[in-house]
Chains A and B, each alone.
Chain A
Amino acid sequence: MLPIAHFDAALIARGLPLLLLLVAVWIGLGLIGLLRPHSVRFVARVVFPLGAITCFALGAVAAHFLVSSHAPEVMTLPLGLPDLPFHARLDPLAAFFLLLLGLAGAGISTFAVGYFRSGQGTAPGLHCLQYHVFLASMALVILADDAYFFMVAWETMALSSYFLVTSQHRIPEIRRAGFLYLLMAHIGALCILLSFGVLQGGRWQFTFDAMRGALLTPFWASAAFLLALIGFGAKAGLVPLHAWLPEAHPAAPSPVSALMSGLMLKTAIYGMLRITFDLLHIRYWWWGVLVLGVGLFSALFGAIFAAVQTDMKRLLAYSSIENIGIIFTGIGLAILFAACGLPLFAALALTAALIHSLNHAFFKSLLFLATGSVLHATNQRSLGKLGGLIRRMPWVATLALIGTLAIAGLPPLNGFVSEWLLLQSFLFTPQIPHAFLNMLIPLCAALLALTVALAAYVMVKFYGVIFLGQHREPSLVHAHDADWMERLGLAWLALGCIAIGVMPQLALRVAGAVTGALLGQAVNLSSPFWWIAPIASKQASYSGLILLTGIVGVVGITFVMVRALAHGRIRRTASWDCGYPWQTSRMQDTAEGFGQPIRHMFGPFFRMERELPAPTDTTPHYRIHIEDRLWRALYLPIARYVQRLADWIGLLQGGRLAIYLLYSFLTLIALLVFVR
């Protein structure tokens, strides 16, 4: 008995081998799926549940590491090239993102059990392989401890997700979205590769440990940082590198959208934090200002564009840009504070960014999966053809409501906690010892508040148009609720949203381990678990649990009092609508209508094409097309330039043997001259 217990303890004490084992299990599960590639039943009912359990185990091991030791663990793997083995390392930063990956991934995989049906493009077995390789590569990105291993895992992640996105490759738009995604992923990967090239500092050692020791001049440090910002920004969807995101996320099947939006974007956040706070030994204040500016602009841009979308998955994709922007705002603020020698406030801002990453993994996955259920039940993605689903799909509607309130940043759910922490850290920006920054940065807090409030607007639109009101199409009457495995997946994610919301101190402690490792400082972690007071209780405090209990308590008392003192009689009648009896479902606000004030107010952001019917039209037709200005201002010119360059280079291709021989001859001569 005793030796076994001893063995278990030893295994748990070493988290890294266990995590690598779990990653191997994922790859194994993916391969098992190939045994019966066309059996939905086998893949969905056997392999995916095992994958979900593996996810959960991964999250649990990471959580155990975070709350128990935090001492980094390293391993050299017998893989890779000769003389260039793979290194793996588990430290609090990695463990935090593995925790996120495991816990949110468990919900997504559980949902996927019920979601995958036959006849959806790629064969289920192949899909299962791609799915699990995708999960495994994300975990390896986080565990990698040298640039080589990191890039291999990063590319595997990009490719496996490319195949997942294009699983319905017979549709041309999806192929196009996939190509755009692949292109942007590789531009990003190239920048990251170059960044690592700068970081090794001329010593040609690509382990992260060597990079930590490399002493870079300010110029090269800044170059590495900027390359990393572009590279990881392209993956995370920072404006102006965001164009792939609203195309690729809606193209993928819903669990894959959830994985990409909820989890994959977080690997970019991880990479950014790893390079900025771990590998680079110095930070300059203007880096922080840059990240803050880009982050805030992305956040506002995402929120504004989300408000005018009419496709529910595109709306969520733009909302991801917004949330990534908020996370980068936190990171920028942390860099700024850290560079100005205010580590406690840097820890506060970084904590906010980390918790927002965790939150976003939960609520965005939840909402993407809910759109998947809606898609299955109705075959509609356009908001203009949905409506009233709360009556047909009460389970999905209730769970999606939790996600909606959470992403809208409302107390007592989780989205509020991170946004509150971020606003709290903005309050200390007047202490920055720079004459203009200390006046300008506080104003950024107002921009953040605007974004957060706009997000609430967007989410009211999202939920109201899909789930509330009247059916906009007669066929919606036949919509059915999600099956129980889908409900279980959704419920797990909703539970996460509630748990982080009412017990934020737990998330704060987990994030505290990370900030402790990166900045040597953590916010006040001594409060009880239902209470947060990041700096001091006198300064500001918040308790989600008491808030929730308070509201529930008052609601309960009011309900009982109303019934006791008055009565509970109800008469069901037709709706009132100011006495207008002929209302139809077409008279409700549409998605376009809900976006109208935003189009009106933020006009310069959009490129609009509108066809309005004339008053005399007998068959009025209204069409509006909204485009991103950056697409024409930035992407198309670059594409044209590349095209022209390719055409020029194409001139070399004469197609005659003599010309190619001439090239070889000239090259030879040139080399001879050069070598001599």
Chain B
Amino acid sequence: MSALTMVRQFGEVLLAIAIAPLFAGWIAQCRAWLQNRSAPPLTQPYRMLRKLFHKDVALATDASPLFRMTPYILFGTMVLAAAIIPSVATDLPFARVADAIALIGLFATARVFLSLAAMDIGTAFGSMGARRDMMIGFLAEPALLMVLFNAFLLSGSTALPSVVEASTAHPFLIDPSLVFAAVAFLMVLLAENARIPIDNPATHLELTMIHEAMVLEYSARHLALVEWSSDLKLFNYACIGFALFLPWGIAARGADGALTLGVAVIALLIKLIVAGAALALIESLSAKLRIFRAPEYLATAFLLAVLGLLVHLLLGA
């Protein structure tokens, strides 16, 4: 592990931390355009974070240490996940710490902590949000695993760097199973990141909230960290998607000079811009589902992933 790889690793993490709010801001901006509203500036998420960090925390009297620790733990897991996901280069010291399945586990850790924190104050909305979020979580997990199964069948590995390297070795070989898997992954991404059609990040109606209901009791720097980690989670999910389905541009091991890295960063930005616009389009075109339609939605995602798997096994056999 040379000093250079460490520098690259830290550069990648800092890039993720820095542009994750920007990505969320970009989606919000696209959404506003599509809905004929005047868009907030791209820097709005940063202003929000700055404002929140400088406010005083208003903490419920009976909040336990768990409640106060959770925002930091969320942020920690998301930053670590950003270090593991090969978004710019594959030769990262942290990339082998967890494979894609372990990454899902890491996200689950964050979700459980947030759910526990939501139940800590003991308000009606908090525990309701926790229950719903855990429900979405267990429904999404089988679909996500089947998506990873697809990737494993193509590359023989669940470690994201190996997946990327395997698919960059044959850049023009698109397996039909990947198309199914990609759609399934997109559906899971929307559900896991509390976006329409499962949850509405901009909602003000408490009874329909999932993610927002859990963070109602947070304020100031705690809220800032929670929001920042949600942005990072969305960014991380997008990067997992890029690694699995659109790995073009990511600097592979051995071919990662300054120029390739620069190209990789630009490729990442372009992918984020396109993906953000696509997400905004999907969110503008679809309506939020009733909470008990969520199983159907995620079952569809699961079946698509299974279809991909069967397509691969049948065609490959």
Question: Which residues of A does B touch, CB under 8 Å?
Answer: 387-388, 390-391, 401, 405, 408-411, 416, 420, 423-424, 427, 430, 438-439, 442-443, 445-447, 449-450, 452-454, 456-457, 459-461, 463-465, 468-470, 537-543, 546-547, 550-555, 558-559, 562, 565-567, 569-578, 583, 585, 587-589, 593-594, 596-597, 600-601
Contact = CB atoms under 8 A, between A and B. Distances in A.
B217 A575 contact: yes
Given A540-B101, A547-B97, A555-B72, A566 B53 contact: yes
Interface in B85-131: 94, 96-99, 101-102, 105-106, 108-109, 111-112, 115-116, 119-128, 130-131
Given A446-B145, A589-B128, A420 B97 contact: no
B221 to A, nearest CB: 6
Contacts of A405: 109, 112
A470 B122 CA distance: 5
Contacts of B126: 577
13 contacts: A411-B98, A416-B102, A439-B309, A460-B116, A461-B131, A542-B97, A550-B80, A550-B94, A558-B75, A569-B57, A576-B216, A589-B130, A589-B131
Contacts of B73: 551, 555
B54 to A, nearest CB: 6
A326 B156 CA distance: 25
Nearest to B131: A594
B86 to A, nearest CB: 14
B57 A570 contact: yes
B313 A439 contact: yes
B162 interface: yes
B7 interface: no
B313 A571 contact: no
B282 interface: no
A456 B134 contact: yes
A464 B115 contact: yes
Contacts of B128: 589
Contacts of B64: 390-391, 468
Contacts of B63: 575
Interface of B: 53-54, 56-64, 66, 69, 72-73, 75-77, 79-80, 83, 94, 96-99, 101-102, 105-106, 108-109, 111-112, 115-116, 119-128, 130-132, 134-135, 137-146, 149, 152-153, 156-159, 162, 206, 216-217, 219, 221, 225, 292, 295, 302, 306, 309-310, 313
B61 A456 contact: no
Given A469-B120, A589-B119, 20 more contacts: A416-B102, A439-B313, A443-B306, A450-B142, A457-B138, A460-B130, A464-B127, A539-B156, A540-B101, A542-B97, A543-B98, A550-B80, A550-B83, A569-B56, A571-B56, A572-B59, A576-B217, A578-B125, A585-B122, A587-B124
Given A457-B135, A463-B116, A588-B122, A438 B216 contact: no
B66 A410 contact: no
A588 to B, nearest CB: 5
Nearest to B313: A439
Nearest to A543: B97
A468 B120 contact: yes
Contacts of B124: 577, 583, 587-589
B123 A555 contact: no
Contacts of B130: 460, 464, 589
A542 B66 contact: no
Contact of A456 (B54, B80, B137): B137
B123 A420 contact: no
Contacts of B112: 405, 408, 410, 456, 459-460
Contact of B109 (A411, A423, A468, A558): A411
A333 to B, nearest CB: 15
A420 B76 contact: no
A21 B148 CA distance: 51
Nearest to A567: B54
Contact of B108 (A388, A427, A453): A453
Contacts of A587: 123-124
A571 B106 contact: no
The 4 closest A-B pairs by CB, nearest first: A469-B122, A589-B127, A453-B138, A470-B122
A575 B64 CA distance: 12
A542 to B, nearest CB: 5
Given A405-B112, A446-B306, A540-B101, A558 B60 contact: no
B94 A571 contact: no
A446 B217 contact: no
A457 B130 CA distance: 9
A542 B138 contact: no
B54 A468 contact: no
Given A405-B109, A453-B141, A456-B112, A554 B60 contact: no
A232 B17 CA distance: 52
A284 B206 CA distance: 56
Contact of B313 (A438, A546, A572): A438
Contacts of B77: 551
A427 B59 contact: no
B221 A457 contact: no
Given A405-B112, A450-B142, A550-B97, A540 B157 contact: yes
A322 to B, nearest CB: 13
The listed residue with most B CB atoms (<10 A of its CB), out of A424, A540, A594, is A540
A423 B63 CA distance: 37
A539 B157 contact: yes
The listed residue with most A CB atoms (<10 A of its CB), out of B53, B138, B139, B153, is B138
Nearest to B316: A430
Given A589-B119, A600-B292, A573 B141 contact: no
Given A453-B138, A550-B97, A427 B149 contact: yes
Contacts of A430: 153, 313
A547 B141 contact: no
The listed residue with most B CB atoms (<10 A of its CB), out of A447, A539, A565, A600, is A539
Given A388-B62, A457-B134, A469 B80 contact: no
The listed residue with most A CB atoms (<10 A of its CB), out of B62, B225, B302, is B62
Contacts of B122: 387-388, 468-470, 575, 585, 588
